[in-house]
Amino acid sequence: MSTNGHSHSAPPILLTIAGFDPSCGAGTAADLKTFAAHGCYGVAAITSLTVQNTQGVETVHNTPSAELRAQLEVLANDCEIAAVKIGMLGNRGNAAVVAEFLDAHNFAHVVHDPVMKSSGGAELLDASGIKFLATELLKRASVVTPNVPEAEVLTGLTIKDVADMEAAARKIVELGARAVIVKGGHLERAVDVLFDGNELVQLGGDRVKTDNTHGTGCTLASAIAAQLASARTLVEAATLAKAYVTKAIEKGYPIGKGRVPLDHFYRQRIEPPARGIHEVPQHGMHPAAEPAAH
């Protein structure tokens, strides 16, 4: 029996450290939806408040690093975190706070999606932040999940095909990462390359129309974190996460005029409430719902 009187055991608690996207297709909103879809409870520390919709990022307001530190500490002091997912950091100050936080708490699983630019090209991490990420943060993650352009920035290599992706994966591990998944969504074939320092594994996948989707990188990293928290191996976690993202892309639907967000809850088939049917609150605080019009 827990101290607060609830006998239910808590599901794994996952922390996302990322930016907030008001259209809720990417960033912390995508992460929290992904955690929930995997039966985990998500908590979030916001690194940046972006002004964006499905058509693109307009402006970025990074959280002051002292506030980010405070958000992280209150969460870590309150609950047992099974895995951490890192996304957009905004700047070097916030990246440094995250490094300190990871050093202070020995988390079992840290999945870092090294976000640098939005799909539309907006800068989501400053130049000194990128340098800090490459030299300091990579080695604090269990796995890093760069896409091809991010892997090129981290390694200085040009990536044109799967062989180049494998070379980049090896170099990122040389830079200090424990494991890396280089995502090939930007290339012709949707092959991802996983390297854990020992073996290179190609994760094949169906090519889905991903050029008009929003939040795939956030979702993949969050799904991997959820699978690792459920005691899967990295290869299993990455394979299952990739299958989940592929299906969520297929089931995605437009909510705005730009990029299509994923349907994170495609497995649950959530139905909107039928019109004219209202649940009347049981406690009598509110008048009964209006009868449906005839």
Could you list the active site residues?
183, 213, 215-218
240 and 232 Cβ atoms separated by less than 8 Å: yes
Helix (H) or strand (E) holding 225: helix 216-229
Chain centroid to Cα 234, Å, comes to 16
21 and 88 Cβ atoms separated by less than 8 Å: no
Residue 264 and residue 126: Cα distance in Å, rounded? Answer: 30
Which residues sit opposite 260 in a β-bridge?
Answer: 213
Phi, psi at 85, each rounded to 5°: -115, 130
145 and 221 Cβ atoms separated by less than 8 Å: yes
260 and 54 Cβ atoms separated by less than 8 Å: yes
Amino acid (one-letter) located at 83: A
Six-digit token string for 45:
């520390």
Residue 69 and residue 43: Cα distance in Å, rounded? Answer: 15
Q: Are strands 83-86 and 13-20 parallel, antiparallel or unpaired?
A: parallel
Long-range contacts of 65-74 (CB under 8 A, 24+ apart): 65/93, 65/94, 65/96, 65/97, 68/17, 68/94, 68/97, 68/98, 69/97, 69/100, 69/101, 71/45, 71/46, 72/15, 72/17, 72/45, 72/97, 72/98, 72/101, 73/101
